[in-house]
Every structure is written in C-alpha cells, then in structure tokens.
C-alpha cells in the first residue's frame, strides 16, 4: 500500500525532537551535580516524564504526518502504553547515567535501555493502528532501527554528560548543536523504522474510529511544548538557585577560613590554636596524658624582611610553614601566631624525650641546604618547649612559658631548643622590665656615655676613646650594655639609641674643645640593626654637621661577623661612610670568617684584635703570640692600624709593643670613664706634653 507524509508535520516532528533533545542534555547535566539524593531522585522522575513525553511526541507527530489511502486512527490504550514505555525507558536511562561516576558500562546500559524503550515505544505506537492484516516488518530495516535507537541514545547520553558544566565556554551553543545532532538521530531512527513497515494491499485500520488524528496532532504538539518549556524553565531556575546557594556557601567558607586560618600560610591562626590547646588540656586531664607546646621564632628573619622586603619575607614564611608540616607528625597541629612566630601542638606523648626528639627532628630537617623545590630555606628556628601539666594548666600559661623557653634558646646561641624552667620566668620578667626601661630611657635621660681610653703603642700617650653606653634606671639600677643591648637589638630600639650615642658623643667632643682641650677621636659601635637602615649614613652625617663636629673626629666600629653577613652591601656602606669623611674599624677581628679578598676590599682604617687573642698571649704562650703577630703583620701589609682590646697584664703590654701594635686599650691602661673623668685624663696628658 502506497504511503505519503505531510511535510509540515514532518518539520514539526523535527522541532519537537530538537527541543526534547535539548531538554535531555540540560537535565542530564543538571541532575548529576545535585548533592542531595532526594533532589536527584525528584529531578530524575520529573526529567523522565519530560524526556519520555518529548520523545513520544516526536514519534507520534511524525506518525501523524504519515498517511495511507485509507482512514487512520489510534487505539487509546496502546497509545497510552507506548507513552508509558517512553517515560519508563527515560527514567532507567537517567538513573544509570546521572551517577557521580559515569562508567562505560553505565553509559552502554543507559543507551541500551533508552534505545530499546524508544524502539518499543515506536512499535507499540504502530500497533495502536490495529491494522488488519497486521503490519509486517523487513528484518534488515528493523535491525537497523534498533541499532540506530541504541546508538543514538548512547551518543545522546554521552554528549549530555560531556556538556554538563554550565560554566564551560560557549556551553549553550554546544548544547544546541548537540541537540540538533540528537534530533537527526532520533528522527532517523523513526523513519528507518517506518521504512521497515509493510502494509498489505487492502488492509484496514481497526482503530480508525478511535482517537481523531487532527485532534491528536494538535493536542500532542501543544502538550509537549508546554511540558518541555516548563521543564527547561524550572531547570534554569533551579540551576540559578543552586548557583546562589553555592555562592553563599562558598562565601561562608571563606569567612570561616579567614576566621580560623592564617591567610599567608594556610595554617591555623591564634584563635584556632587556642581552641585546640583547650581541647588538648581537657583530653589530657581525662586520659592523664602529656602534650607539648613547641614555640618557634625564626632566627635572622627580620634581616631578610628589612633588607629584601616584605614580599621576600612572605615567601620565606610560606616556605617554612610548608616544610614545618613535613617535619612534624601527622596528628600534630602547626599554627602561625603572627610575624615569624609558629607553634606546634604535639599531643599524646609518652615523655619529655618525645618532645625533645620532635624538636631535634625539626632542627635537623631545617638544616638541610635544599628541599624538593631546590630552594635554600635561609632561616632556622629557635624552639622553646612547654609541657602539660608540669609547665602550666592553661593556654596562656603554656604559651607564655614556651615563649620564655624560646628566648632562652636564642640566648644559648640560636637554632637550638630549650625546655621551660622556672628560672626562665624571672628572665622573661627581667626582659620585659628592660624593654619598658628602654622605652623611657631616651625621654627621661637615663642613658649616659662612658669613654674608654685608647693609647698609642709606642709612647703610651692618649690616642682616642671608645664611647660605651650605660643605662641608669631608677628602679632597675645600672644596667650593663651586655644586658640591654641585645634586647634593644631585637626590639629595634637600638636604631634610635645609636643616633643618641652619636649625638651625645659629638656634644661631648664640643664640650672638651670648649674647655680648651685638644680634639680627640671617638669610636662608636654600629649594631646589625643599624646597618640595615637605608638612610644610615645621611642621618649620621646630618647629626655630626648639626652638632658642629668634624667627621674626622668620629670612627665607626663594625664587628667582623656583622660585616661578613652581606659583604657586598657592607662594602657599599663603607664606601659611603668613607666618602663622607668618617673612618671605619673592624671590631672583634679573628672571631668571624672574613676572607683576605674582602678584608682588602673593605679598606678600613683599623683592625681591632679581639680580647680572646690578647688573653691568649699569656694563656697560650708561643702559639698565642704567633697568632697575634700574624694579625698585626697582615693588617700592616694592608696599610691598616691595629688596636688590641682587653690588655690587662704587663706581659701582654710588653709583647704587643714588641709586635709593633699601633694602639691598645684595656683595664691595665684605663677603665671606662665618665665624660668629666676622661676630660681630666685628657687635660693631664696635655699638661704633661706641654711640660715636655
């Protein structure tokens, strides 16, 4: 029997297929990203309804476009059955393909279920015609229709998953293109299946008096469009809602992160550490166990931060944090308190030996030259350890005691560790008192200068003086430089103190000159923190000029160790000092590690032999004499003067004279004197010279 097609309904069937395909792509991508199993199930059921109706509608619109020379109609029960098949197949396919992991087996299974469901829907829809005799099918075309149905369904589900990311570039355009491909495949399956059908001549349609074809076409098209469009709108609305919920959740997560973690290193911050220590205290009390607080401060970090900038300092902190995580146990808490201070909370320890082993392990691994990133660490920690319960039973007490132990580790030479001891409380209290005293000292004039005389090596006449600072506090009494200078260095107060020393020395030089005394050269020590100041030389020059003193009357002393920390920068600064008219001396020579090449490039005025070698003249006999003699000969060959510190015995004095040491200072020759006493000494030397 000859058949024909209505081109408008054929075109409409393709439009329905395209819209159904796009809906399928959107739903499949939407469902698998849902976190709630309940929501996922609801959307599977709704999606199966929309997708099944869409595919069923495409086929029935296409079948309504089909006509024979006889009246056609459709049995209502068989038509409803074909719709149920489409919806059921769609549900099974969505269940298989909307899991978080889409395996090949699930893809093939989903494609097979959907393909067979579509084919079953089509052929049951054909059966709704109730043809007599029955429709026969060509086997080859029938098999081809099944293959196309399964292949098209599998491809459709794969494309749906591949295009599931709404944030991907041009995703809507890609989905639309994929929907067209799917519509062609679905339509192709239908028309291949129709080509397989053979209608016998003289056959009649038993359902011709059933559902009216025109009414069915109009109803199906309108109903299908309504369902698919509503489904798409709901999907888009739900996607927007999920996006907003996700954005709010992400924002809350960021707020929580800012409140609990350090932004630079990603480690727990002080608040989080405090909470974890409190939990550790409660757990340790219940279990009668031991835990340790390891308080760490990075040695030399301030030098890096001040000289290379905060960006370089941040990189060092981030690198140290990551490496510290590797050094400790998996269950330990590593936190950053701020600046270069880190804390490790180590719970469930058997004894203090475990805490010591942990600290030694951290120091040993940090001493390695390079790590996996092939970058040198540049800094080492000093570690203080406090144990619960013997060193405290509260968060504040444990942290305070661990901090005190850390400062004891710094005083012990740095890059080591110390356990807290009760005497450290006294040292910490003393340190705090001195810090407060230093803050008051400049404003309240608690500082004074003493001057230790330096004598000529040949004539023993007065050759100059070294300015030494003293602190006289109303409550703490007189403090020696060795007690307060390191504290001032750590706190940064040493910079302003250094400027005060230079200004006061210049004023005293002017007073001596006003008293008719001859000009005298005064040596002033420079600290490591001062040398980091970019404007050090201009500031020093401004002070000297403001006080009306010639630069030739000031000599700055830099220790050998400090000079060699950054030799290239030291050379630049020395050149700047010398260009301004100041003289430079290398102090404590022999205790550092300067090479002859750098010593020659420094071109300083003086080398000061450390008192250790001066004492060695008596203690080590010929060996000690050989070392001092070699230093003097080296300095003279480089056209430098030599000053011996710590001369305390007559034998040392005689040997230094015999070695042609240029200048000497020490308790044998003269102790540090007040400005008035030094003026009297200078006056007496002047009168003696005049008498001669």
CATH code for the domain in which residue 299 is found:
3.30.70.270
Is the pLDDT assigned to residue 98 strictly greater than 70? no
pLDDT of residue 172: 64
pLDDT of residue 41: 72
For the segment 496-513, the average pLDDT, to the nearest whole number, is 94
For the segment 589-604, the average pLDDT, to the nearest whole number, is 68
Confidence of residue 18 (pLDDT cuts 50, 70, 90): confident
| 320 and 227 fall within a common domain | no
Of 246, 280, 306, the residue that ends a domain is 246
CA dist 448 → 41, 285, 508, 548 (Å): 84, 53, 11, 21
**Residue range 136-167, pLDDT digits in tens:** 888 888 888 888 877 777 776 676 666 555 55
| 340 and 230 fall within a common domain | no
For the segment 259-267, the average pLDDT, to the nearest whole number, is 81
Residue 506 · residue 534 · CB < 8 Å? no
| 39 and 72 fall within a common domain | yes
DSSP string covering 437-491: HHHHHHHHT-EEEEEEEEEETTT--EEEEEEEEEEEETTTEEE-HHHHHHHHHHH
Is the pLDDT assigned to residue 331 strictly greater than 70? yes
Of 421, 445, 462, the residue that ends a domain is 421
| 536 and 653 fall within a common domain | yes
Is the pLDDT assigned to residue 17 strictly greater than 60? yes
| 539 and 598 fall within a common domain | yes
For the segment 245-273, the average pLDDT, to the nearest whole number, is 67
For the segment 569-594, the average pLDDT, to the nearest whole number, is 82
Is the pLDDT assigned to residue 64 strictly greater than 80? no
For the segment 66-93, the average pLDDT, to the nearest whole number, is 77
pLDDT of residue 450: 94
In whole angstroms, give the CA distance from residue 520 to residue 522. Answer: 6
pLDDT of residue 66: 74
Is the pLDDT assigned to residue 317 strictly greater than 60? yes
Mention every residue, 6+ apart, whose C-beta is less than 8 A from residue 584.
555, 556, 557, 558, 574, 577, 578, 602, 604, 605, 606
| 404 and 442 fall within a common domain | no
What percentage of the chain reaches a pLDDT higher than 90? Answer: 26
pLDDT of residue 245: 45
pLDDT of residue 69: 77
pLDDT of residue 652: 92
Is the pLDDT assigned to residue 216 strictly greater than 50? yes
- Residue 321, domain extent: 270-421
For the segment 48-62, the average pLDDT, to the nearest whole number, is 73
For the segment 88-104, the average pLDDT, to the nearest whole number, is 67
In whole angstroms, give the CA distance from residue 577 to residue 585. Answer: 11
Structural domain count, the chain: 3
Angle between helices 213-260 and 270-287 (to 10 degrees): 80
Burial level of 385, CB count in 10 A (0-12/13-18/19+)?
buried
Residue 6 · residue 67 · CB < 8 Å? yes
What percentage of the chain reaches a pLDDT higher than 70? Answer: 78
Counts for the chain of helices (H) and strands (E), in that order: 24, 21
- Which of 3-17, 195-209, 280-294, 377-391 holds the top average pLDDT? 280-294
Mention every residue, 6+ apart, whose C-beta is less than 8 A from residue 589.
560, 607, 608, 609, 610, 631
| 89 and 49 fall within a common domain | yes
Higher pLDDT, 376 or 306: 306
Q: Is residue 253 part of a domain?
A: no
Residue 130 · residue 205 · CB < 8 Å? yes
Is the pLDDT assigned to residue 431 strictly greater than 70? yes
CATH number of the domain enclosing 540: 3.20.20.450
For the segment 585-611, the average pLDDT, to the nearest whole number, is 76
Q: Is residue 692 part of a domain?
A: no
Is the pLDDT assigned to residue 520 strictly greater than 80? yes
Is the pLDDT assigned to residue 130 strictly greater than 70? yes
Of 396, 421, 446, the residue that ends a domain is 421
**Residue range 487-499, pLDDT digits in tens:** 888 788 899 999 9
Q: Is residue 438 part of a domain?
A: yes
DSSP string covering 287-346: HT-EEEEEEEEEETHHHHHHHH-HHHHHHHHHHHHHHHHHHS-TT-EEEEEETTEEEEEE
What's the chain's average pLDDT? 80
Is the pLDDT assigned to residue 168 strictly greater than 50? no
133 preceded by a cis bond (ω within 30 of 0):
yes
Confidence of residue 210 (pLDDT cuts 50, 70, 90): low
Q: Is residue 691 part of a domain?
A: no
| 26 and 120 fall within a common domain | yes
Strand partners, 170: none
- Which of 91-105, 234-248, 497-511, 608-622 holds the top average pLDDT? 497-511
Q: Is residue 256 part of a domain?
A: no
Query: What does the DSSP 8-state code read for residue 135?
Result: P
Q: Is residue 208 part of a domain?
A: yes
Is the pLDDT assigned to residue 377 strictly greater than 70? no
Q: Is residue 263 part of a domain?
A: no
Confidence of residue 251 (pLDDT cuts 50, 70, 90): very low
15-29, 51-65, 135-149, 182-196: the lowest-pLDDT one = 15-29
Higher pLDDT, 603 or 303: 603
Tally of CB atoms within 10 A around 252: 10
| 621 and 578 fall within a common domain | yes
Q: Is residue 299 part of a domain?
A: yes
| 636 and 512 fall within a common domain | yes
Residue 574 · residue 603 · CB < 8 Å? yes
| 230 and 282 fall within a common domain | no
| 417 and 446 fall within a common domain | no
Higher pLDDT, 319 or 541: 541
Is the pLDDT assigned to residue 183 strictly greater than 80? no
């Amino acid at each position: 029997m000859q058949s024909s097609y209505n081109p408008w309904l054929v075109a409409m069937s393709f439009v329905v297929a395209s819209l159904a395909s796009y809906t399928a792509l959107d739903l499949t991508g939407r469902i698998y990203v849902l976190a709630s199993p309940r929501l996922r199930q609801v959307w599977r059921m709704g999606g199966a309804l929309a997708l099944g109706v869409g595919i069923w509608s495409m086929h029935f619109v296409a079948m309504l476009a089909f006509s024979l020379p006889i009246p056609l109609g459709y049995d209502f029960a068989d038509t409803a059955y074909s719709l149920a098949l489409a919806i059921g197949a769609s549900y099974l396919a969505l269940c298989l393909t909307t899991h978080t992991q889409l395996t090949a087996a699930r893809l093939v299974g989903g494609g097979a279920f959907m393909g067979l469901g579509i084919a079953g829907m089509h052929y049951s829809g054909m059966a709704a015609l109730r043809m007599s005799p029955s429709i026969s099918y060509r086997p080859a075309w029938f098999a081809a229709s099944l293959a196309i149905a399964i292949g098209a369904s599998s491809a459709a589900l794969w494309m749906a998953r591949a295009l599931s990311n709404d944030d991907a570039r041009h995703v809507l355009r890609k989905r639309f293109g994929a929907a067209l491909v799917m519509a062609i495949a679905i339509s192709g399956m239908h028309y291949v299946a129709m080509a397989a059908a053979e209608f016998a001549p003289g056959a009649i349609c038993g359902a011709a008096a059933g559902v009216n074809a025109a009414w069915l076409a109009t109803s199906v098209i309108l109903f299908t469009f309504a369902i698919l469009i509503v489904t798409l709108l709901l999907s888009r609305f739900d996607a927007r809602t999920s996006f907003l919920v996700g954005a709010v959740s992400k924002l809350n997560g960021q707020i929580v992160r800012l409140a609990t973690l350090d932004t630079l290193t990603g480690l727990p911050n002080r608040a989080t550490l405090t909470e974890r220590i409190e939990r550790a205290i409660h757990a340790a009390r219940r279990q009668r166990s031991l835990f340790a607080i390891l308080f760490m401060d990075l040695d030399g970090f301030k030098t890096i931060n001040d000289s290379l900038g905060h960006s370089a300092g941040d990189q060092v902190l981030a690198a140290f944090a990551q490496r510290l995580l590797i050094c400790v146990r998996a269950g330990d808490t590593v936190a950053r308190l701020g600046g270069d201070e880190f804390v490790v909370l180590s719970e469930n320890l058997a004894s203090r030996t475990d805490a010591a082993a942990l600290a030694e392990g951290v120091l040993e691994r940090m001493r390695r030259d390079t790590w996996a990133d092939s970058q040198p660490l540049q800094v080492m920690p000093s570690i203080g350890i406090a144990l619960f319960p013997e060193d405290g039973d509260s968060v504040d007490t444990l942290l305070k005691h661990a901090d005190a132990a850390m400062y004891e580790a710094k005083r012990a030479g740095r890059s080591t560790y110390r356990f807290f001891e009760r005497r450290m409380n006294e040292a910490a209290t003393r340190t705090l008192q001195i810090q407060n005293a230093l803050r008051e000292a400049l404003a309240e004039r608690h500082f004074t200068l003493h001057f230790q005389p330096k004598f000529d090596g040949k004539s023993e006449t007065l050759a100059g003086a070294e300015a030494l600072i003293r602190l006289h506090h109303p409550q703490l009494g007189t403090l020696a430089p060795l007690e307060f200078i390191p504290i001032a260095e750590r706190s940064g107060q040493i910079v302003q103190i250094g400027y005060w020393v230079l200004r006061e020395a210049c004023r005293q030089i002017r007073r001596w000159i006003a008293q008719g005394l001859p000009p005298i050269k005064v040596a002033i020590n420079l600290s490591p923190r001062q040398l980091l100041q970019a404007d050090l030389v201009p500031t020093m020059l401004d002070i000297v000029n403001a006080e009306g003193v010639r630069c030739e009357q000031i000599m700055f002393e830099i220790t050998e160790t400090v000079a060699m920390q950054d030799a290239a920068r030291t050379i630049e600064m020395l050149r700047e000092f010398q260009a301004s008219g100041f003289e430079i001396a290398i102090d404590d020579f022999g205790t550092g590690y300067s090479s002859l090449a750098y010593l020659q490039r420094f071109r300083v005025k003086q080398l000061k032999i450390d008192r250790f070698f001066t004492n060695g003249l008596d203690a080590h006999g010929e060996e000690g004499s050989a070392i001092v003699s070699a230093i003097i000969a080296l300095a003279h060959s480089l056209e430098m003067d030599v000053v011996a510190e710590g001369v305390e015995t007559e034998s040392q004095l005689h040997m230094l004279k015999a070695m042609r040491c240029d200048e000497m200072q020490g308790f044998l020759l003269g102790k540090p004197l007040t400005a008035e006493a030094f003026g009297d000494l200078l006056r007496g030397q002047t009168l003696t010279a005049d008498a001669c």
